[in-house]
Structure 1
Amino acid sequence: MTDTFIESSRTVKNIVVVHPVQSRDVVVTPSGIQGPPGASADQQTGPSRPASETLSALRAVVLTTEGWAYAQPSESSSANRAVALTLAAANAGTLIQPLLSGIVEDLAWNWHNDQPIFLNENGTLSQVPNLYVIRVLGFPLTPTSLYFNPEGGIL
Protein backbone atom coordinates (compact mmCIF):
# COMPACT_ATOMS: atom_id res chain seq x y z
CA MET A 1 0.00 0.00 0.00
CA THR A 2 1.39 3.39 -0.93
CA ASP A 3 0.36 6.84 0.23
CA THR A 4 -0.38 9.57 -2.25
CA PHE A 5 -0.51 13.22 -1.32
CA ILE A 6 -2.31 15.77 -3.46
CA GLU A 7 -1.08 19.23 -2.63
CA SER A 8 -2.61 21.58 -5.17
CA SER A 9 -6.07 22.55 -6.35
CA ARG A 10 -6.81 20.79 -9.61
CA THR A 11 -9.58 18.91 -11.36
CA VAL A 12 -9.23 15.16 -11.81
CA LYS A 13 -12.08 13.41 -13.64
CA ASN A 14 -14.59 16.13 -12.69
CA ILE A 15 -13.50 16.06 -9.03
CA VAL A 16 -11.98 19.24 -7.66
CA VAL A 17 -9.43 18.71 -4.91
CA VAL A 18 -9.06 21.89 -2.88
CA HIS A 19 -7.17 20.73 0.21
CA PRO A 20 -4.24 18.42 0.73
CA VAL A 21 -5.63 14.89 0.99
CA GLN A 22 -3.96 11.66 1.94
CA SER A 23 -5.32 8.66 0.09
CA ARG A 24 -4.63 4.94 -0.04
CA ASP A 25 -4.47 2.70 -3.10
CA VAL A 26 -7.97 1.98 -4.31
CA VAL A 27 -9.01 -1.19 -6.10
CA VAL A 28 -11.79 -0.56 -8.60
CA THR A 29 -13.92 -3.54 -9.55
CA PRO A 30 -16.47 -3.70 -12.37
CA SER A 31 -20.13 -3.10 -11.48
CA GLY A 32 -22.27 -6.04 -10.56
CA ILE A 33 -25.76 -6.92 -11.71
CA GLN A 34 -28.43 -4.31 -10.96
CA GLY A 35 -30.47 -5.31 -7.91
CA PRO A 36 -34.26 -5.20 -7.71
CA PRO A 37 -35.83 -1.76 -7.36
CA GLY A 38 -36.73 -0.65 -3.87
CA ALA A 39 -39.54 1.62 -2.78
CA SER A 40 -39.11 5.14 -4.03
CA ALA A 41 -38.27 7.86 -1.54
CA ASP A 42 -41.86 9.09 -1.57
CA GLN A 43 -43.34 5.68 -0.75
CA GLN A 44 -43.58 3.82 2.54
CA THR A 45 -44.36 0.12 2.69
CA GLY A 46 -45.80 -2.03 5.43
CA PRO A 47 -44.20 -5.09 7.00
CA SER A 48 -43.69 -8.17 4.84
CA ARG A 49 -46.36 -10.65 5.94
CA PRO A 50 -48.37 -13.36 4.15
CA ALA A 51 -51.66 -12.66 2.44
CA SER A 52 -54.34 -14.31 4.59
CA GLU A 53 -56.54 -14.75 1.50
CA THR A 54 -56.16 -14.33 -2.25
CA LEU A 55 -55.77 -10.59 -2.81
CA SER A 56 -56.25 -8.48 -5.93
CA ALA A 57 -53.94 -5.62 -6.86
CA LEU A 58 -54.77 -2.06 -5.80
CA ARG A 59 -57.01 -3.04 -2.90
CA ALA A 60 -56.97 -1.70 0.65
CA VAL A 61 -55.80 -4.25 3.22
CA VAL A 62 -55.32 -4.45 6.98
CA LEU A 63 -52.87 -6.56 8.97
CA THR A 64 -54.56 -9.30 10.99
CA THR A 65 -53.09 -12.12 13.08
CA GLU A 66 -53.29 -14.34 9.96
CA GLY A 67 -51.63 -11.76 7.67
CA TRP A 68 -52.87 -9.12 5.21
CA ALA A 69 -56.62 -9.22 4.51
CA TYR A 70 -59.08 -6.99 2.67
CA ALA A 71 -60.15 -3.95 4.67
CA GLN A 72 -63.91 -4.12 5.33
CA PRO A 73 -65.63 -0.87 6.35
CA SER A 74 -68.63 -2.87 7.56
CA GLU A 75 -66.48 -4.63 10.20
CA SER A 76 -65.54 -2.48 13.18
CA SER A 77 -62.36 -4.55 13.73
CA SER A 78 -61.15 -3.47 10.29
CA ALA A 79 -62.40 0.12 10.34
CA ASN A 80 -59.97 1.40 13.00
CA ARG A 81 -56.80 -0.35 11.80
CA ALA A 82 -54.01 1.05 9.69
CA VAL A 83 -54.79 0.52 6.03
CA ALA A 84 -52.30 -0.31 3.27
CA LEU A 85 -52.66 -0.83 -0.49
CA THR A 86 -51.70 -3.96 -2.41
CA LEU A 87 -49.56 -3.13 -5.44
CA ALA A 88 -49.87 -6.58 -7.01
CA ALA A 89 -52.20 -9.56 -6.76
CA ALA A 90 -51.15 -12.32 -4.35
CA ASN A 91 -52.29 -15.83 -3.51
CA ALA A 92 -53.04 -16.77 0.08
CA GLY A 93 -49.79 -17.44 1.95
CA THR A 94 -47.65 -15.33 -0.39
CA LEU A 95 -45.50 -12.72 1.37
CA ILE A 96 -46.52 -9.19 0.41
CA GLN A 97 -45.39 -5.74 1.45
CA PRO A 98 -48.23 -3.32 0.66
CA LEU A 99 -47.97 0.44 0.35
CA LEU A 100 -48.64 2.53 3.48
CA SER A 101 -48.43 5.85 1.65
CA GLY A 102 -47.25 7.16 -1.68
CA ILE A 103 -48.20 7.87 -5.25
CA VAL A 104 -49.81 5.08 -7.29
CA GLU A 105 -50.80 5.08 -10.94
CA ASP A 106 -53.12 2.78 -12.87
CA LEU A 107 -54.20 3.53 -16.42
CA ALA A 108 -57.61 1.89 -15.82
CA TRP A 109 -58.56 4.48 -13.19
CA ASN A 110 -60.67 7.53 -14.00
CA TRP A 111 -60.69 9.62 -10.81
CA HIS A 112 -62.39 13.00 -10.51
CA ASN A 113 -59.75 15.39 -9.16
CA ASP A 114 -62.13 17.27 -6.86
CA GLN A 115 -63.30 14.24 -4.80
CA PRO A 116 -61.48 12.13 -2.18
CA ILE A 117 -61.06 8.37 -2.46
CA PHE A 118 -62.86 6.22 0.10
CA LEU A 119 -62.58 2.66 1.42
CA ASN A 120 -65.39 0.37 0.25
CA GLU A 121 -66.21 -3.34 0.65
CA ASN A 122 -63.48 -5.91 -0.01
CA GLY A 123 -60.86 -3.18 0.02
CA THR A 124 -62.09 -1.50 -3.14
CA LEU A 125 -61.34 2.17 -3.72
CA SER A 126 -64.19 4.45 -4.69
CA GLN A 127 -65.13 8.10 -4.82
CA VAL A 128 -68.57 7.17 -3.45
CA PRO A 129 -68.62 6.80 0.36
CA ASN A 130 -69.90 3.48 1.71
CA LEU A 131 -72.90 3.10 4.02
CA TYR A 132 -70.93 2.04 7.11
CA VAL A 133 -67.76 3.86 8.07
CA ILE A 134 -66.46 6.67 5.88
CA ARG A 135 -62.69 6.57 5.67
CA VAL A 136 -60.66 8.68 3.25
CA LEU A 137 -57.75 6.72 1.77
CA GLY A 138 -56.31 9.36 -0.52
CA PHE A 139 -56.77 11.99 -3.16
CA PRO A 140 -56.48 11.91 -6.96
CA LEU A 141 -53.52 13.66 -8.54
CA THR A 142 -54.67 12.96 -12.10
CA PRO A 143 -57.48 10.80 -13.50
CA THR A 144 -55.08 7.82 -13.46
CA SER A 145 -53.03 8.46 -10.31
CA LEU A 146 -53.63 9.00 -6.63
CA TYR A 147 -51.77 9.94 -3.48
CA PHE A 148 -52.52 7.04 -1.13
CA ASN A 149 -52.35 8.36 2.42
CA PRO A 150 -55.11 6.90 4.62
CA GLU A 151 -56.42 9.28 7.23
CA GLY A 152 -56.18 7.95 10.75
CA GLY A 153 -59.59 9.24 11.66
CA ILE A 154 -62.93 8.08 10.47
CA LEU A 155 -65.48 10.54 9.17
Structure 2
Amino acid sequence: MARDCNTELLEIVEQETLVETQRELLVEVADPGAEVADIEPPQMLVDTEPDLLVVTEGAQIVLVDEGRQGPPGPPGGLGQAYVEFPAAVPLGGHRAVRLLAGQAIYADHTVVADANAVLGITRGAVEEGALAQIQFGGLMTEPSWAWTPDQPVFVGLEGVLTQPSPTTGFSLIVGIATLPTQILIGAKAPIVLQE
Protein backbone atom coordinates (compact mmCIF):
# COMPACT_ATOMS: atom_id res chain seq x y z
CA MET A 1 0.00 0.00 0.00
CA ALA A 2 1.44 3.28 -1.01
CA ARG A 3 1.09 6.48 0.94
CA ASP A 4 1.01 9.89 -0.53
CA CYS A 5 3.52 12.14 1.17
CA ASN A 6 4.20 15.76 0.59
CA THR A 7 7.89 16.02 0.49
CA GLU A 8 9.30 19.34 1.43
CA LEU A 9 12.78 20.31 0.56
CA LEU A 10 14.72 21.27 3.65
CA GLU A 11 17.54 23.70 3.24
CA ILE A 12 20.47 23.23 5.63
CA VAL A 13 21.52 26.66 6.65
CA GLU A 14 24.09 25.80 9.33
CA GLN A 15 25.83 22.56 10.08
CA GLU A 16 26.29 21.57 13.73
CA THR A 17 28.69 18.93 14.96
CA LEU A 18 27.87 17.20 18.17
CA VAL A 19 30.80 15.79 20.11
CA GLU A 20 30.06 13.18 22.65
CA THR A 21 32.63 12.70 25.40
CA GLN A 22 33.29 9.43 27.04
CA ARG A 23 34.45 9.06 30.64
CA GLU A 24 36.12 6.03 32.06
CA LEU A 25 35.27 5.21 35.63
CA LEU A 26 37.82 3.12 37.52
CA VAL A 27 36.31 1.35 40.48
CA GLU A 28 38.59 -0.24 43.05
CA VAL A 29 36.94 -2.83 45.24
CA ALA A 30 38.93 -4.56 47.97
CA ASP A 31 36.30 -7.22 48.67
CA PRO A 32 34.89 -9.04 45.58
CA GLY A 33 31.48 -9.17 47.29
CA ALA A 34 31.30 -5.41 47.94
CA GLU A 35 28.58 -3.31 46.33
CA VAL A 36 29.56 -0.69 43.77
CA ALA A 37 27.47 2.46 43.42
CA ASP A 38 26.77 4.14 40.08
CA ILE A 39 27.32 7.86 40.63
CA GLU A 40 28.06 10.84 38.42
CA PRO A 41 31.58 12.27 38.75
CA PRO A 42 32.87 14.36 40.47
CA GLN A 43 30.44 13.56 43.28
CA MET A 44 31.69 11.60 46.22
CA LEU A 45 29.67 8.89 47.87
CA VAL A 46 30.15 8.02 51.51
CA ASP A 47 27.92 5.21 52.67
CA THR A 48 27.43 4.03 56.20
CA GLU A 49 27.48 0.40 55.13
CA PRO A 50 30.80 -1.23 56.01
CA ASP A 51 31.28 -2.58 52.47
CA LEU A 52 31.10 0.80 50.74
CA LEU A 53 33.59 3.60 51.30
CA VAL A 54 35.14 5.36 48.26
CA VAL A 55 34.91 5.43 44.39
CA THR A 56 37.58 6.77 41.98
CA GLU A 57 37.33 8.42 38.58
CA GLY A 58 40.80 8.48 37.06
CA ALA A 59 42.99 9.91 39.81
CA GLN A 60 40.03 11.31 41.74
CA ILE A 61 38.94 9.23 44.75
CA VAL A 62 35.36 7.96 44.61
CA LEU A 63 34.67 4.12 45.85
CA VAL A 64 36.62 1.35 47.62
CA ASP A 65 35.91 -1.27 50.22
CA GLU A 66 36.63 -0.31 53.82
CA GLY A 67 39.86 -1.84 55.09
CA ARG A 68 39.72 -4.07 58.11
CA GLN A 69 42.50 -4.50 60.66
CA GLY A 70 44.25 -7.82 60.36
CA PRO A 71 45.51 -9.99 63.19
CA PRO A 72 48.48 -8.68 65.18
CA GLY A 73 51.86 -9.65 63.81
CA PRO A 74 54.80 -11.02 65.77
CA PRO A 75 56.59 -8.52 68.00
CA GLY A 76 59.48 -6.73 66.34
CA GLY A 77 63.02 -6.74 67.60
CA LEU A 78 64.51 -3.90 69.57
CA GLY A 79 65.74 -0.97 67.55
CA GLN A 80 69.44 -1.14 66.88
CA ALA A 81 71.38 1.95 67.96
CA TYR A 82 74.80 0.41 67.42
CA VAL A 83 76.93 -0.98 64.61
CA GLU A 84 79.76 -3.51 64.60
CA PHE A 85 83.16 -3.07 63.01
CA PRO A 86 86.43 -4.94 63.56
CA ALA A 87 88.87 -3.21 65.90
CA ALA A 88 92.13 -2.11 64.24
CA VAL A 89 93.78 -2.06 67.68
CA PRO A 90 92.71 -3.23 71.15
CA LEU A 91 89.89 -0.86 72.23
CA GLY A 92 88.70 0.03 75.70
CA GLY A 93 85.03 0.25 76.53
CA HIS A 94 83.04 3.49 76.58
CA ARG A 95 85.40 5.43 74.34
CA ALA A 96 84.75 7.49 71.21
CA VAL A 97 85.86 5.82 67.98
CA ARG A 98 86.02 6.45 64.27
CA LEU A 99 86.73 4.23 61.28
CA LEU A 100 89.99 3.87 59.39
CA ALA A 101 89.85 1.57 56.34
CA GLY A 102 86.69 -0.06 57.73
CA GLN A 103 88.17 -0.73 61.17
CA ALA A 104 87.49 1.03 64.46
CA ILE A 105 90.18 3.19 66.07
CA TYR A 106 90.04 5.83 68.81
CA ALA A 107 88.89 9.31 67.83
CA ASP A 108 91.04 12.10 69.28
CA HIS A 109 90.07 15.76 69.70
CA THR A 110 93.66 16.85 68.84
CA VAL A 111 93.39 15.33 65.34
CA VAL A 112 91.23 17.80 63.40
CA ALA A 113 90.65 15.22 60.64
CA ASP A 114 88.66 13.18 63.22
CA ALA A 115 86.16 16.03 63.76
CA ASN A 116 83.59 14.77 61.25
CA ALA A 117 84.55 11.10 61.44
CA VAL A 118 83.46 10.15 64.98
CA LEU A 119 81.13 7.15 64.67
CA GLY A 120 80.07 6.57 68.27
CA ILE A 121 81.12 5.08 71.61
CA THR A 122 82.33 1.52 72.20
CA ARG A 123 79.93 -0.57 74.30
CA GLY A 124 82.74 -2.68 75.78
CA ALA A 125 86.43 -3.50 75.42
CA VAL A 126 87.59 -5.68 72.49
CA GLU A 127 90.84 -7.16 71.25
CA GLU A 128 92.39 -6.28 67.90
CA GLY A 129 90.42 -7.89 65.06
CA ALA A 130 87.34 -8.60 67.22
CA LEU A 131 84.03 -6.94 66.41
CA ALA A 132 83.53 -3.74 68.39
CA GLN A 133 79.95 -2.73 69.15
CA ILE A 134 79.78 1.02 68.58
CA GLN A 135 76.73 2.80 69.94
CA PHE A 136 75.65 5.97 68.11
CA GLY A 137 72.36 6.77 69.88
CA GLY A 138 70.30 6.08 72.97
CA LEU A 139 71.23 5.71 76.62
CA MET A 140 74.53 4.26 77.80
CA THR A 141 75.26 3.45 81.44
CA GLU A 142 78.62 2.85 83.09
CA PRO A 143 78.81 2.51 86.91
CA SER A 144 82.31 4.06 87.10
CA TRP A 145 81.23 7.37 85.51
CA ALA A 146 80.67 10.47 87.63
CA TRP A 147 79.13 12.97 85.19
CA THR A 148 77.46 16.24 86.10
CA PRO A 149 73.85 15.70 84.95
CA ASP A 150 72.39 17.95 82.24
CA GLN A 151 75.85 18.87 80.94
CA PRO A 152 77.42 17.89 77.58
CA VAL A 153 79.98 15.09 77.20
CA PHE A 154 82.82 15.64 74.71
CA VAL A 155 85.41 13.58 72.80
CA GLY A 156 88.77 13.86 74.59
CA LEU A 157 92.28 12.46 74.05
CA GLU A 158 92.39 8.97 72.51
CA GLY A 159 88.59 8.61 72.66
CA VAL A 160 88.27 9.24 76.41
CA LEU A 161 84.97 10.99 77.18
CA THR A 162 85.19 14.24 79.12
CA GLN A 163 82.90 16.98 80.38
CA PRO A 164 85.27 19.91 80.22
CA SER A 165 85.17 21.11 76.60
CA PRO A 166 88.51 20.73 74.77
CA THR A 167 90.35 23.99 74.03
CA THR A 168 92.48 22.69 71.14
CA GLY A 169 91.82 20.65 68.00
CA PHE A 170 88.06 20.29 67.83
CA SER A 171 85.14 20.22 70.24
CA LEU A 172 82.44 17.59 69.65
CA ILE A 173 79.52 16.88 71.96
CA VAL A 174 78.79 13.13 71.77
CA GLY A 175 76.04 13.12 74.38
CA ILE A 176 74.39 14.71 77.40
CA ALA A 177 74.75 13.34 80.93
CA THR A 178 71.32 12.32 82.22
CA LEU A 179 72.61 10.84 85.50
CA PRO A 180 76.07 10.66 87.05
CA THR A 181 76.43 7.16 85.53
CA GLN A 182 74.48 7.62 82.29
CA ILE A 183 74.64 9.61 79.06
CA LEU A 184 72.20 10.05 76.19
CA ILE A 185 74.35 9.56 73.09
CA GLY A 186 73.74 11.91 70.18
CA ALA A 187 76.64 13.59 68.38
CA LYS A 188 76.32 17.25 67.44
CA ALA A 189 78.22 19.24 64.81
CA PRO A 190 81.90 19.59 65.68
CA ILE A 191 83.55 22.96 66.21
CA VAL A 192 87.10 23.15 64.91
CA LEU A 193 89.18 25.18 67.37
CA GLN A 194 92.48 25.17 65.45
CA GLU A 195 93.80 23.75 62.21
1:81-124 Cα offsets, whole Å, 9 max, x none, are 14211011011111123111110111111111132101101101
Partner residue, 2:53: none
Consecutive unaligned residues of structure 1, counting only runs of 5 or more, are: 1-37
Alignment of 1:138-149 (within 5 A): 138-149=175-186
> Structure 1 residues 122, 82: CA separation in 2 closer, same or farther (over 3 Å shift)?
closer
Distance 2:105 2:133 in 1: 12
TM-score, structure 2 length as denominator?
A: 0.55
| CA apart distance, 1:77 | 2.1
Residue of structure 1 equivalent to 2:108: 72
2:195 is aligned with 1:125: no
CA RMSD, 1 decimal: 1.5
Where in structure 2 are the equivalents of 1:38-53 lying within 5 Å? Answer: 40-41=78-79, 43-46=80-83, 48-53=84-89
User: Matched residue of 1:122: which SS?
Assistant: helix
Q: Which residue of 2 is the match for residue 56 of structure 1?
A: 92
SS of structure 1 residue aligned to 2:170: coil
Q: Give the aligned length.
A: 114
Flag the structure with higher strand content.
Answer: 1
Task: Report the alpha carbon displacement of residue 69 of structure 1 after superposing the two structures with TM.
Answer: 0.3
SS in 2 for 1:49: strand
Amino acid at match of 2:99: L
Whole-angstrom CA distance in 2 between matches of 1:82 and 1:121: 13
**2:155 matched to 1:109?**
no
Deviations 1:15-47 (A, max 9, x none): xxxxxxxxxxxxxxxxxxxxxxx7x43x5112x
Cα separation, partners in 2 of 1:132 and 1:76, compared to 1, 3 Å: closer
TM superposition outliers: structure 1 runs of 4+ over 4 Å: none
Give the secondary-structure state (helix, strand or coil) at the position aligned to 1:97: strand
User: Percent identity, aligned pairs only?
Assistant: 27
Displacement, 1:142? 0.8
Deviation at 1:66, TM superposition (A): 5.0
Q: 2: CA distance between counterparts of 1:125 and 1:85? A: 9
Name which structure has the greater RCO, CA cutoff 8 Å, separation 6+.
Answer: 1
> Following the alignment from structure 1 to structure 2, what is the Cα–Cα distance between the partners of residues 136 and 66?
23
Aligned partners of 1:145 and 1:86: how far apart in 2? 14
Corresponding residue number in structure 2 for 1:137: 174
- Give distance in 1, aligned partners of 2:150 and 2:81: 25
| Contact 2:96–2:159, Cα closer than 8 Å, also in 1 | yes
Which residue identity is paired with 2:181? T
